Amino acid sequence: MRKWPKWLKAVVIVLGTAAVLAVAALIFVNAYISKSKPVTEGELSVPVLEEEVTVVRDAKGVPHIRAESDADLYRAQGFVQAQDRLFQMDLARRQASGRLAEVVGEAAVPSDKLFRTFSLRQAAADSESGYGEDAREVLGWFAEGVNAFIGQAKEDGKLPYEFRLLGYEPEEWTPIDSLTIGKYMAYDLGGNWPALAFRHWAVNEFDGGKMKELFIRYPENAPSIIEANRANPVAIAGAFDASLIPPEHNGSNNWVVSGDKTASGKPLLADDPHLGLTTPSIWYEMHLESPEQNVAGVIFGGIPGIILGHTEKVAWGVTNVGPDVQDLYIEEQNPDNPAEFRWDGEWERATVRDEPIKVKDGGTIEFEVVTTRHGPVISDIMLQDTGTDGDVLSMQWTALEPTRELEAVLQMNKASDWNDFEQALRNFNAPAQNFVFASVDGTIAYRANGNIPIRKKGDGQLPVPGNSSEYGWEGYIPYEELPTAVNPEEGFVATANNRVINENYPYHITDFWAQPYRYERIAEVLRAGDSFTPEDMMALQMDVKNLYAREFLEDMLGSLKNTGTDKEFGGAVKLLEEWNQEDDKDLAAPLIFHKWMKELPKTMFRSTMPEDVYGLMPGKNHITDEMMRRAYAGNPGEWVTEYGGVDKWVSDSFEKTIKGISGKYGENTDKWKWGDFHQLVFPHPLGSASPVFERLLSPPRTATSGSGITVQAAGFKEDGSADHGASWRFVADLSDLSSTWNIVGPGQSGHMKSEWFHDQAKDWVAGDYHETRIDGDVEGDVLKLFP
């Protein structure tokens, strides 16, 4: 789950004061905010255009853009995105570039140092030089459109109100800005360095079985690599700022069903990417049409094209593969020259890049980024002053290589069959994604696509020595050998961040797959039917069957009986025994079960680890799940044995759970409901400034079904806020691609006065999809853009 970073808390403080003034001057503020509401009807002059462009916003605010050339299409796309999302776009480019402190102040400096060090903007600049002329033109056209809006809004005094609140104006948009936002998504979806840092701490803290059980799988070449970690300990405890750590599981569901199993005889495809749920949504739905293409779907604000969606002939969706694409190296620094590091017995000079950080209402902080042959040194920003010298970790990461994902996206947008689409995927390298594909010709396909490293030694579960050529990468898994399936005999392909390879696959991808329950439920439903409709796919996306409980609950209830705990808490136990194992918002059993499962790792580990190390610990429930499996099979490990056995561990956790629920919701179990705790939120980044901003900018908290392990994904924080799940739901019927079914919660617009600001928040809870057409049969607000 996403944590608000310190820079955002500073915005909250600033705006908390501003809120008082805003209330005092409510009429003025209302008038000013209304003035910046996007124009969606009538005519506008956009000088960068060559010919007239038509923009129709349908009943859900989805812009359908029709242009006479690709040049004008992308210019108009940039203009329209900026109308609805300019502040979001500006904040995104600033965060990814490490330039928030300029507009927020000193509290954003740690975030700026992180992203300057991670070098996303530098990687974007390196990537741009490798793009072909066509893609570079698209980036330029898109930037022209964004800048046309910025120029008009400045001239007319109609910039989005957030800029006035924070006291700055947006700079011109550049192609590098778009590519930097793309690199940020690789950061959000591809980070495994916290897991490496945790395991480095663990091998220096524990021996034997207790150490091994903290790995998802004990690593290959373990003795030599563990010896290297113990010989070069880097201080971890007390060092990490948790707000800078990306979410552990940005997951997703997708599946594609062959025409042999559908009512229409043509494939069905469904996709719902799981990311942080925010206002405005991370996704922006659009339909783009020119004589050269007709494509619809979603895109990140600030980027041209359509990254997920469909054309008139094909449809596609993604989930995160989650491979190990970030490695940490323990570097040996020259004590006489901190810019040099040992490599095969010689001191080798690193690259040092000056990155001065300007601070609002302050001066300029001089900052350097040091990059070894492996990558940037991250320990300078991640490790606080722990009283040790020479603690140096550098990071190698696929996303820091020059990549050309936008070229892949632009080719996908014009693909007409699997051959076209597969060719496009060759340029989609970071982040690695599970693509599912369907075509009107009946083809269905799957590919785990992206750059996945091949290591000389080890499998990416631990930091490795940076002073020797014995370690490091020797290339990527060859494109032709990435996991692929075309028209499989089973008649469907589904992924949910689950393991996608068998034991015989010759390359390492990761050992940190998502828990299998979402995939198992999807596969269970798809195997059982043979005449599926789009309505069935939508129903499956809203499915709340809990297979986690199916695996463990019976044994866990047995533990309660073995310890007599069932008698003390009979009412709660009865609810679990009679539960239909669905995470329904109106039931009490999901509340008990999920809090119980979250309590298990706390009970086992929290007293044995510093708080920040516990926060770094990857896959807490992955680890405790495996401990329970082994213990219930009669083979408890050292952790469970030392605790006093699985029955005691499970029962103690249950007792803490019930006492916690009773303390908040009372002793009467008949009144407990999952939805009283588990509530959907779409927080606005400025909404916590005051109750006024919260009411104006964020939709009300709403009880919702589902959980982090059901197909209807709704991951939640400690306070029950369900802020992680299906950021977009999408279903396509290949028998008729003139329209598809979608939900983009909480809505399309980033402007609080727009009717499309929060209009899909309730749709998200209820599963009410809207139809998006690409055949020209669209009604709504019509805006003509003239040269």
**pLDDT value at position 24?**
42
**pLDDT value of residue 243:** 65
Predicted confidence at residue 694, as pLDDT, reads 80
How far is residue 712 CA from its own chain's centroid?
Answer: 16
Q: Exposure string (b/e) for 311-347, b if CB count within 10 Å is 16 or more?
A: bebbbbbbbbbbbbbbbbbbbbbeeeeeebbbbeeee
Q: Which residue has the tokens 């977009």?
A: 728
Q: Report pLDDT digits (tens) over 289-302.
A: 999 999 999 999 99
Among 619, 650, 672, the domain boundary falls at: 672
Measure the CA–CA gap between 279 and 1, rounded to whole angstroms.
15
Instruction: Establish if 158 belongs to a structural domain.
Output: no
The reply to whether 237 falls in a domain is yes
Backbone φ and ψ of 54, nearest 5°: -110, 130
Q: In this model, does residue 27 exceed pLDDT 60?
A: no
**Neighbour tally for 564: CB within 10 Å:** 9
Q: What is the model's pLDDT at position 527? A: 97
- At 699 the pLDDT is 94
**Does residue 151 lie in a domain region?**
no
pLDDT at 1: 35
The pLDDT-based confidence of 6 (bands split at 50, 70, 90) is: low
In a domain, 641, yes or no: yes
Tell me the pLDDT tens digit for each residue of 594-609: 999 999 999 999 999 9
Tell me the CA distances in angstroms from 46 to 81, 148, 646, 743, 786, one per residue in order. Answer: 14, 7, 68, 30, 6
Give pLDDT, residue 26.
53
Residue 382 sits in a domain whose CATH number is 2.30.120.10
- Judge whether residue 319 has pLDDT over 70: yes
User: Percent of the chain scored above 90 by pLDDT?
Assistant: 80
CA–CA dist 519, 255 (Å, integer): 10
Decide if pLDDT at 221 tops 80.
no
Paired sense of beta strands 283-290 and 63-66, if any: parallel
What pLDDT digit, counting tens, does each position of 574-628 carry?
Answer: 999 999 999 999 999 999 999 999 999 999 999 999 988 888 888 899 999 999 9
Distance CA 537, CA 267 (A): 11
Instruction: Give the Cβ contact number of residue 776 at 10 Å.
Output: 11
Number of domains the chain is built from? 2
Of 672, 697, 724, the residue at which a domain comes to its end is 672
Indicate whether 744 belongs to any domain.
no
Q: Of 729, 733, 736, which is closest to residue 262 (Cα–Cα)?
A: 733
**Where is average pLDDT lowest: 153-162, 614-623, 670-679?**
614-623
Instruction: Put residue 634 in one of left, alpha, beta given phi > 0 → left and psi -120 to 50 → alpha.
Output: left
pLDDT band per the 50, 70, 90 thresholds, residue 209: confident
What pLDDT is recorded for position 641?
97
pLDDT for residue 193? 81
CA dihedral (582, 584, 589, 590) positive or negative: positive
> Does 464 score more than 70 pLDDT?
yes
pLDDT at 5 over 80: no
Report the range of poorest mean pLDDT among 358-372, 379-393, 636-650: 379-393
The domain boundary, picked from 656, 672, 688, lies at 672
- In this prediction, residue 383 carries a pLDDT of 52
Residue 404, token pair as written in the block: 């050309």
Task: Kindly indicate the confidence band of residue 21, based on its pLDDT and cuts at 50, 70 and 90.
Answer: very low
Confidence bin at 240 (pLDDT 50/70/90): low
240: CB partners within 8 A, 6+ apart: 194, 197, 382, 383, 612, 615, 616
Rounded CA separation 656/703 (Å)? 24
Please report the pLDDT score of residue 187 as a whole number: 85
The arithmetic mean of pLDDT across residues 372-387, rounded, is: 74
What's the average model confidence in pLDDT over 723-729? 95
The verdict on residue 104 lying in a domain is no
Across the range 71-81, mean pLDDT stands at 98
Q: For helices 175-189 and 70-97, give the axis angle rounded to 10 degrees.
A: 60
Q: Tell which residue, 319, 322, 619, has the closest CA to residue 496.
A: 319
How many CA atoms are closer than 13 Å to the CA of 345, on its beta-carbon side? 0
- Mean pLDDT, to the nearest integer, of 146-165? 95
Which of 103, 142, 133, 122 shows the shortest CA–CA distance to 15?
103
Inter-CA distances, 286 with 123, 139, 780, Å: 27, 17, 14
pLDDT of residue 251: 73
Q: Which pLDDT score, from 0 to 100, does residue 388 have? A: 42
Spatial contact of 680 and 762, defined as CB atoms under 8 Å apart = no
- Long-range CB contact pairs, 644-649, < 8 A, 24+: 646/559, 647/559, 647/562, 647/563, 648/563, 649/600, 649/603, 649/604
Domain range for 668? 547-581+588-672
Mean pLDDT of 413-420: 98
DSSP code of 356? -
CA torsion sign, 504 to 509 to 512 to 513? negative
Q: What is the pLDDT of residue 33?
A: 84
CA 449 to chain centre: 17
The per-residue pLDDT for 387 is: 38
> Would you say residue 248 lies in a domain?
no
The owner of tokens 């480095």 is: 200
- Where does the pLDDT of residue 766 fall: very low under 50, low under 70, confident under 90, or very high at 90 and above? very high
- Write the DSSP symbol of residue 261: G
pLDDT grade for 385, boundaries at 50, 70 and 90: very low
* pLDDT, mean over the chain: 91
pLDDT interval class at 735 (50, 70, 90) = very high
CB 742 within 8 A of CB 761: no
Cα–Cα distance for residue pair 506/597, rounded to 1 Å: 34
Residue 771 lies in a domain: no
Which of 348-352, 544-548, 690-694 shows the lowest per-residue confidence on average (mean pLDDT)?
690-694
The 10 Å CB-count burial string (b at 16+, else e) for 38-71 is bebeeebebebbeeebebbbbebbbbbbbbebbb
52 versus 246: the higher-pLDDT residue is 52
3-state secondary structure 671-737: HCCHHHHCEECCCCCCHHHCHHHHHHHCCCCEECCCECCCCCEEEECCCCEEEEEECCEEEEECCCC
Backbone angles phi, psi at 178, to 5 degrees: -65, -45
pLDDT at 19: 52
Q: Give the model confidence (pLDDT) of 511-543 as tens digits.
A: 889 999 999 999 999 999 999 999 999 999 999
Label each residue of 644-671 as H, E or C.
Answer: CCHHHHHHHHHHHHHHHHHHHHCCCHHH
